[in-house]
Amino acid sequence: MFAQAFYAVWEEGQSGEKARINAASAGLDQQTLFFLARQGAYLTPVPLPGSPADVAPGPSPVNLAYYRLPNGLTVLSRSKCSPGQHRRGRGDCFTHFILHRQPTAFLEALFPLYAWEAPFWQESPLPTRQELPLLPHLKGNEASALPAMMRVLADPSREPHLPNFFSAVLRALHNGRQLVVVDHPEAVAMLIGAIALALPRQLSARLTFNTCIRDPRQADTLICGTTPDSEPLFATGAYQDQYYIFDFHRQRFSPAPQHGFFGDTLAHWYHEQLLERILGFRNFVDRTAPNSRAGDLDDLLNLYRMLSSESGDTATLISGIHFVFEKKLYLRAGVWQQLDALARQRGDRSLLLRWSGQEIAGRGAAKGQTAREILDQLKQLDGAGFSSGDYDEFFARGWPGGYLPAADALLLVRHHAATVFRSRVFLQMTLEGLRHEPAIVTPDSNIRALLAVLQRLEAVQHSAGGKSHPAAAAIAAVSPDLRRCSALARWGHDFPRAGTPDAELRGIEFALRELPPSNTMAIAAVLRLALQHFLSGRVWHGHYRAYLPALKQHVEPGLFWACLRELLHNAGRSRRISAAAWGRVFQFVYRERKQAPARSSGAPLPAEAPAGLREEIYQEELLRIYQAFDRAARNEIERSMTRDTRWLLPWREWKKRGSFLRQVADRWLRLRGQMA
């Protein structure tokens, strides 16, 4: 229901004062009536310069306005002066207000275009009745408004500027910059009606306007209509940067924003009188993207033309598909069916999966969720129309890196197992994704759950009747990869229980061979576990010498030395390193130093990259651990080094240097104590 109020200058109002609210519907509080009274002082145009004071009365301008009050009520009003009174400054005027709490209520009842000279407007206040009835509905003048609008738009002085005008309105909706139209009030109303006819409901509700006001600077509506004799005249250009100005009287226009696809297309549709397309676009946006912004209309119009087969070029198609996925419009009712129909029109329904896969590739961390939403939509269609090869291409396009993260794969398996298991590519990329998981050798819940599902599927395939399972062919093709992934996931548990040194080394080599080089976190986890096993002294003594070279052979040198230094540093603090292991590390590091290329002048050689870490281990970490050993452990190391003549000289040199470093450190500490 719509409330009403009358404002009249010459009538005595409810408050007992002249020029106040004359009548109002029940339920309008005093604050609302106060706001309406301020709006009711209709500012009419001033006389043209040089016009005689006794100029004959002409038709009175009409101000049709749509705005919001400070208390949130939405108002549609019409103000009109008595004939001839509009040249007396304020003039004796009458304003009819219609109010509602919801901005969209007016748009549901009628377009702004149909409110011009609509039959529900009153021309004068009621002489006796003080309480106005609520209006159940608003009936506009559709029959006369549309022809009047088309005449205004077809005028040669206006038509060339329509693309800029429509684009300027969108820009104003985006940045709040006011748009001033200098024209007679009816033309202003028709221009506003033309753009409002094409805007979705939420944007139309924000399109506040006045069709005729004395000074647009005093108004807070988005579009202000004024006449050539109004204040200010914008003659000096002082306000060109503050307003979008369309002065159709003098043909002066502020630099318009670069008009885009929406402005050009809407002007073309009006030129061709294609009103059904304009209304169709508005309904499409209200149904598909009801909360769209002004900046989205170019893309929405492009999508509308694509889905309605008005435009079939490749650029339009690519842009439209991208917008659908960027804004998640495929979740709206009917959009997916329209995309499916478009693919069928092109003679290849699998295009739908190809488009979807291409767009998933750009979703970043949201790929799995986006793919699930797409498969949800496909489930509502005739899924039998897609082959396993179509799904293969869908996954290949969606994850161009060649693998699915375990979280993505598990999400799809849980919600669309029957679909995804038809695809061999999905299974291959899932297993490859497991190899890329940082936690694969110490699996988390996602990895364990995904492997359990795949293993159950493989068991079904090997059971009686399993050959008829829809996924039988796909799972049979990846069974060897599945077994290797399962072994990789058990590696952290099985490695310490290998039983023999050869089995341990084979296990390490298997893990490092199966892990892709890019999965440095998993490789580091394997390396740390193997080194911890080594440093604790649990490795068979006869294989100490081969153990570290075997590890270094399979990993990037920098990673190897960084892990070894980290573990030695921690092992020294916690004393979790045996004397025998210390001796083998010393011998290994010494050999590596001797085999390293000689340092050249200028830029270091590539092989010298981990040299700093290696030297830090040799000169600092080993020394610190050695000093922390008790006498029995140091004696054990001494015996092992002096027993073999090959290590006698290196050992004595290292100990001598270590003694020198200890002396320097002790001297520095004493000096620091004296200074303190």
Instruction: Read off the pLDDT of each residue in 215-234 and give the average, rounded to a whole number.
Output: 79
**Residue boundaries of the structural domains of the chain:** 1-49+57-140, 143-327, 328-494, 528-595+610-675
Residue 402 has what DSSP assignment?
A: S
Distances (CA, A) of 284 to 267, 292, 480, 505: 19, 12, 51, 66
The region of weakest confidence among 47-61, 235-249, 386-400, 435-449 is 47-61
Angle 424-435/388-398 helices, nearest 10 degrees?
A: 30
Instruction: Read off the pLDDT of each residue in 569-585 and give the average, rounded to a whole number.
Output: 81
State the number of CA atoms in the 13 A half-sphere of 457 facing the CB.
26
Indicate whether 134 pLDDT > 70.
yes
pLDDT, residue 450, reads 94
d(CA 369, CA 377): 13
d(CA 250, CA 227): 11
Stronger pLDDT, 377 or 396, i.e. the higher one: 396
> Mean pLDDT, the chain, as a whole number?
82
State the number of CA atoms in the 13 A half-sphere of 299 facing the CB.
18
Strands of the sheet with 252-253, listed across from one edge: 131-132, 18-25, 3-12, 93-100, 74-81, 62-68, 209-210, 223-226, 178-182, 243-247, 252-253
pLDDT, residue 190, reads 94
At position 543, the amino acid (one-letter code) is H
Instruction: Tell the residue number behind the tokens 């910059």, with chain if given.
Output: 177
Indicate whether 538 pLDDT > 70.
no
Asked if residues 543 and 501 have their Cβ atoms less than 8 Å apart, the reply is yes
pLDDT, residue 248, reads 92
Indicate whether 84 pLDDT > 60.
no
What b-and-e string marks burial along 215-226, b requiring 16 or more CB atoms within 10 Å of the CB?
A: ebeebebbbbbb
Contacts of 369 (CB under 8 A, 6+ apart): 411
Indicate whether 43 pLDDT > 60.
no
* pTM of the entire predicted model: 0.71
The region of weakest confidence among 54-68, 206-220, 259-273 is 54-68
Q: Quick one: tokens of 252?
A: 């002066």
d(CA 455, CA 483): 9
Counting Cβ atoms within 10 Å, is residue 625 exposed (0-12), middle (13-18) or buried (19+)?
buried
Q: Is the backbone of residue 454 left (phi > 0), alpha (psi -120 to 50) or beta? A: alpha
Residue 8 has what DSSP assignment?
A: E
d(CA 215, CA 225): 9
Asked if residues 277 and 269 have their Cβ atoms less than 8 Å apart, the reply is yes
Stronger pLDDT, 460 or 202, i.e. the higher one: 202
The pLDDT-based confidence of 154 (bands split at 50, 70, 90) is: very high
Please give the distance of CA 661 from its chain centroid, rounded to a whole number.
58
Share of the chain above pLDDT 70, in %: 82
pLDDT, residue 263, reads 92
SS3 296: helix
Instruction: Tell the residue number behind the tokens 């896969």, with chain if given.
Output: 357
Asked if residues 7 and 95 have their Cβ atoms less than 8 Å apart, the reply is yes
Counting Cβ atoms within 10 Å, is residue 603 exposed (0-12), middle (13-18) or buried (19+)?
exposed
pLDDT, residue 406, reads 94
d(CA 43, CA 93): 9
Instruction: Read off the pLDDT of each residue in 244-259 and give the average, rounded to a whole number.
Output: 81
Distances (CA, A) of 601 to 13, 580, 604, 605: 99, 38, 8, 10
Residue 599 has what DSSP assignment?
A: P
Residue 466 has what DSSP assignment?
A: G
